[in-house]
């Protein structure tokens, strides 16, 4: 893919979080493009690890990003005021960290991080 660098964001479908996450990943990791894998409340879906059809869909899209675009990082995103996952920040942070473990179990060998988007649409890395 020439010198273009990719990242993958497993992000909420909520349009308010797309641009902040894209801008943050470009700035923090020096990537050119972000492949978006969107679902309502993806951190919850990945943390619960129950809905096999949705999980397989997310996994397939992430694998395309990693294997075809050489994505160098995967970010799992949660955010304030999520309609698909209407729980508090603390619960979402736990889900993000659990979601990372789910992705690790897929055997995809790239860096995986968690991101939280606050009520002001600022992005914070979850550790």
Residues 106-124: tens digit of each pLDDT: 999 999 999 999 999 999 9
Class level of CATH domain 6-126: alpha beta
**60: pLDDT confidence band, cut at 50, 70 and 90?**
very high
The sheet carrying 73-79 orders its strands as: 33-39, 6-12, 73-79, 111-117, 123-126
Q: Could you tell me which residues come within 8 angstroms of residue 99 by beta carbon, excluding any fewer than 6 positions away? A: 10, 42, 43, 45, 46, 47, 76, 114
Q: Where are the domains of the chain?
A: 6-126
Pull the structure tokens for residue 93: 């942070």
- Give the predicted TM-score (pTM) of the model: 0.95
Query: How confident is the model over 75-96, as pLDDT tens digits?
Result: 999 999 999 999 999 999 999 9
Pull the structure tokens for residue 81: 């005021």
- Residue 11 has a CB neighbour count (10 Å cut-off) of 25
**2: pLDDT confidence band, cut at 50, 70 and 90?**
low
Q: What is the DSSP pairing of strand 6-12 with strand 33-39?
A: parallel
Q: What is the mean pLDDT of residues 54-58?
A: 98
């Amino acid at each position: 893919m020439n010198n273009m660098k990719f990242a993958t964001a497993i992000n909420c479908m909520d349009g308010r979080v797309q641009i902040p996450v894209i801008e943050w990943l470009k700035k923090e990791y020096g990537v050119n493009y972000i492949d978006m894998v969107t679902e309502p409340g993806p951190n919850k879906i990945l943390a619960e690890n129950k809905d096999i059809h949705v999980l397989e869909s997310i996994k397939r899209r992430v694998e395309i990003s990693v294997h075809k675009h050489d994505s160098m990082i995967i970010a799992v995103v949660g955010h304030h005021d999520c309609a698909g996952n209407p729980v508090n920040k603390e619960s979402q942070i736990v889900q993000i960290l659990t979601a990372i473990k789910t992705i690790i179990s897929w055997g995809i060998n790239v860096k995986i991080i968690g991101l939280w988007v606050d009520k002001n649409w600022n992005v914070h890395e979850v550790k």
